[in-house]
Amino acid sequence: MNATANRNISVDQLRVGLYVHLDLKWFEHPFAFSHFKIKSEEQITLIRSLGLKTVRFSSELSEGSAPAQMVEPLAPDLNAPALTPASTAPELSPIMLAKRAMMAQMRLRRQDTERIEKAFIDTARTIRDIEKNLYSRPLEAAQQATLLIGQMTDSILSAPELAIQVMGDKLGGDELYLHSLNVTMLSIMMARDIKLPVAVVGVLGVGALLHDIGRKEVPDKILRKTEALTQAERSFYEMHCQFGVEMGQRMGLAPAALATIREHHELFDGAGYPAKLKGESTSLLSRIVVIANYYDELCNPSAIADALTPHEALSLMFAKLRSKFDPKLLQVFIRCLGVYPPGTIVQLSNGAIGMVVTVNTARPMKPTLMVYDAEVAKDDAILLDMERETEVNIAKAIRPAQVPQEVYNYLSPRKRVSYYFDASSTRPQAGTP
C-alpha cells in the first residue's frame, strides 16, 4: 500500500465503508483486528469511545469517495480535558470487558490445546506399545487395541460436538504410529457422521488402527527407498495387505476388521490392490479407511518434500481423483473436515494471514484460526473463531513456502499434519446460555 493511500481524518469524519487503521495495541480496542472496513454506525461509536482524535484510513481499500477534509495528526490541546483510552480507564467499558472476555476465552483454548496434545501423545505411545507386542503377544496386542478403540469411540460418539485439532510436532520418529492414529481418527469421524452403530465403529476402529501392520514384514530397504520401486519391489510391497491379514488372524481379529486390513488400498475405480476390487465389492468399513488412508499419505508421505497441504490434498482428491473413492463417503469426509482442514494456512479478506487450528465437524466452514500479528507475542497469538467473526472471511489457502519467514516462524506450520479430536468440546450453540 502506498503512502498517499494512508491518511488521517478526524474521528468526526468516520463513516461506513472507510477502511481504518487503529494505532492502538491489540488489547486496547474491542475489535478482532486493528485495521478493518467500517460496517456499521455501532463500530463508529466504538471507535469514537476509544479516546482517539484522528484515525488513519486507506482510500484504496475504502468504499465510496474519500472524506472531504484530511487532517494531520492533531497536536495535543493543552487546555482540553485529557481523554483516557478505554484500556487504561479506572472502570473498563463494556466493549473492553468484551475484549477481555475474548482474551480469557483464548487462554482457555490454549489450555485445551495442551490437554489435547497430552492425550494425543499418550495415545500414540499406546499404539507404539501395541505394535511392539504384535509378534510376541498377539492376543494381548489385540486386547490392547480393542480397549483403546473402545475408549476412543465411546468418547467421540457420545460428544455433543466434535472438534478436530491439528497437533504439534512432538513425536519425532513415530511416523508409523501417527499415520495409524490419523487414519483411525479420521475413519471414526466419518463413522460418527453417518451414524454407524457403536459396535460397528469399534470394529472399524480396530481395522483402521491395524491396517498397516503387514508393513512390518516388508524389508526396510523397500519401505525407505526414495526413488521409484522396481516391479518386483512393488509387488512385494503390495503383499503387506495379505501379511497384515495373516497377522490379524493370529490376533483373533473380527472378519470385518480383517477385511479392512486386506482392502485398505482397493480403490472405487478398480485401480487399487491387491485384488483390484471395484465399487461396492469392498466393505463399507474398507471404503471409509481407504479415504482416510489416502488423504494422510498425501499430507504425510515418506518423502516430506512431496507433502501436500491439507487443503491441496482434499482439493486433489475431490477435483482429480474423485473416481477412486466412494462418492458419498468422500462428500462425508469433505463435509467433516471443511474446505480448509486443520493445518491449512489461509489469507483473510482483510489481508491477514493465519493457520486453521481447529475445525468443529458440525460447522466445518467456520474454523478457528491462529492469526499472525507482529504486535502480539506468539504465545498470546490471536485465536479467531470464524463462527463469531462477521467482519472478515477466509479468502484463500496459501502454501507455507509462500508466506514471509517471520509469519512462517510465528504460525509454525507442522511438518507432519497430525490430528486429534477434542471430544469434550461442548461450546454452547447460538441462542443457548
Handedness of CA 324, 186, 192, 254 (dihedral sign): positive
Model pLDDT, residue 4? 42
Max CA pair span of the chain:
89
The tens digit of pLDDT for each residue in 114-129 reads: 888 888 989 988 999 9
The pLDDT, as a whole number, for residue 218 is 96
Segment 254-284, tens digit of pLDDT: 999 999 999 999 999 999 999 999 999 999 9
Report whether 374 contacts 382 (CB < 8 A).
Answer: no
More confident residue, 345 or 428: 345
Q: How far apart are CA 188 and CA 292, in angstroms?
A: 10
Share of the chain above pLDDT 70, in %: 87
Please say whether the dihedral angle defined by the alpha carbons of residues 389, 392, 393 and 394, taken in this order, is positive or negative. negative
Q: What is the pLDDT of residue 377?
A: 85
pLDDT (0 to 100) of residue 64: 79
Is a pLDDT exceeding 60 seen at residue 432?
no
Q: For a pLDDT cut of 90, what percent of the chain falls above it?
A: 56
- In this prediction, residue 191 carries a pLDDT of 98
C-alpha cell at 311: 487443503
The cell numbers describing 231, all together, are 516391479
Check whether 337 has a pLDDT greater than 80: yes
Is the model's pLDDT at 342 over the cut of 60? yes
pLDDT at 399 > cutoff 80: yes
The chain-wide mean pLDDT, for the chain, equals 86
- Structural domains of the chain, ranges and CATH numbers in brackets: 1-67 (no CATH), 99-337 (1.10.3210.10)
For cell 499419505, what's the residue? 297
pLDDT of res. 98: 66
**What secondary structure letter does DSSP report for 282?**
S
Q: Is 306 exposed, middle or buried (0-12, 13-18, 19+ CB in 10 A)?
A: exposed
User: pLDDT tens digit string along 94-110?
Assistant: 656 766 777 777 788 78
Task: Give the model's pLDDT for residue 175.
Answer: 61
Map residue 240 onto helix, strand or coil.
Answer: helix
Contact between 185 and 417 under an 8 Å Cβ cutoff? The reply is no
Angle at 283 between CA 280 and CA 285, to 5 degrees: 125
Q: Which residue has the cell 469517495?
A: 65
| CA 294 to each of CA 144, 186, 226, 300: distance values in angstroms, whole numbers, following the listed order | 26, 11, 19, 10
Residue corresponding to grid cell 491396517: 211
Query: Which of the 8 DSSP states describes residue 424?
Result: T
Give the whole-angstrom CA distance, residue 107 versus residue 111.
6
Closest by alpha carbon to 116, among 175, 184, 163, 173? Answer: 163
Which band of pLDDT confidence, cut at 50, 70 and 90, is reported for residue 426?
very low
H or E, element range at 333: helix 327-337
Residue 414 contacts residue 167 (beta carbons within 8 Å): yes
CB neighbourhood size of 431 (10 A): 5
- Residue 26 near residue 376 (C-beta atoms within 8 A): yes
Quickly state the pLDDT bin for 7 (edges 50, 70, 90). confident
Q: Residue 170 pLDDT > 80, yes or no?
A: no
Q: Report CA 150 to chain centroid distance, whole Å.
A: 25
Distance, CA of 262 to CA of 249 (rounded, Å) = 11
